[in-house]
Amino acid sequence: MEIVARSPAGLSFGFTGRGDGDALDYSNLANAVTRLTGREWSAPVARLKQIHSDAVETVSPETAATAGPGFLLLGQGDAITSSSGGPAAAVFVADCAAIALYDRVMGLGAVVHAGWRGMAAGIALRAVERLRSAGCEALEAVVAPHAGPCCYEFGAVHATELERSLGLEIVSRTTSGEVSIDIFAALSAQLLGAGVDLGAGRPECTICSGKYFSYRAGDAVARQALVLLPSRP
């Protein structure tokens, strides 16, 4: 696990890799956080049944007050907001993009699961709206490693239709010349258009880097996690 984003207001976002094992196994995820922080970690982690939607859920310290170690299932959706007071929250990916979204002043943030369907549905924008409704104004985002345009082959007709519906330039080419789409370009445009700053540039491609699980590269089940870690996990 590595820290991909950190808020001055007390939130950190860790992203696991292949070396951490399948993050859908809570023990693997807890061990990864323990290695990262240098102290035993066994806190509950809020998660969702991810459905490629625009649904955002919020988890509060009260929600997790009686929860023990393990995953705390909130229901269906593709983004979770939480605070520096906890609890932890995670989304799981293996080529889809995961977004760390946080306010630089308030201790509030979100983890967002954004495949092409979620991106088209506006999941990142819905998460921004949820945080803004809670008073956040100084928002920043970091997009974690995901399938890059170098490798993410996509049907030409569908890619063109998607580009037209979004009004964004997302059609690209893989290194072998096949049609692909650029999820990072689309998400960046959406976030910047909503007044959110980007805290980092283009991340690595999960398909070709070898460091991450990739559905397109043959990892049908295993996932990595983007975890929002509160200041008091």
* Residue 184 within any structural domain of the chain: no
Q: How many distinct structural domains can be found in the chain? A: 1
* Residue 41 within any structural domain of the chain: yes
Q: What is the pLDDT of residues 159-178, one digit of tens each?
A: 999 999 999 999 999 999 99
* Residue 92 within any structural domain of the chain: yes
Residue 233 has pLDDT above 50, yes or no: no
Residue 231 has pLDDT above 80, yes or no: no
pLDDT for res 127: 98
Nearest to 139 by CA among 90, 186, 191, 71: 191
* Residue 21 within any structural domain of the chain: yes
* Residue 176 within any structural domain of the chain: no
Q: What is the pLDDT of residues 31-40, one digit of tens each?
A: 999 999 999 9
Residue spans of alpha helices (H) in the chain: 26-37, 116-121, 123-133, 156-166, 183-193, 206-209
